[in-house]
Amino acid sequence: MTGFVIVLIVLGALATAAVLVRGVIVMARGKDITGRQSNKLMSYRVMLQGLTVALVIILILMTRNGG
């Protein structure tokens, strides 16, 4: 079970990094004048980071309790 959670953590971290890179590219191009797309990407990044941190906490609790 811990192996599955570790895989989810890695996937969450990769997804977070992908959204971050996409946001930097959008900002660098300068075509998002209103900032709507940048804000949307930032919201996705924060959500993915929160999910990944929650999974890390779950993993810590699982290994701490012998899971």
- Per-residue pLDDT tens for 40-67? 999 999 999 999 999 999 999 999 876 5
Reported pTM: 0.84
Q: Hey, CA dihedral for 49, 41, 36, 28, is it positive or negative?
A: positive
Query: What percentage of the chain carries pLDDT values higher than 70?
Result: 97
Long-range contacts of 61-65, Cβ-Cβ distance < 8 Å, separation of 24 or more: 62/1, 62/2, 62/5, 63/2
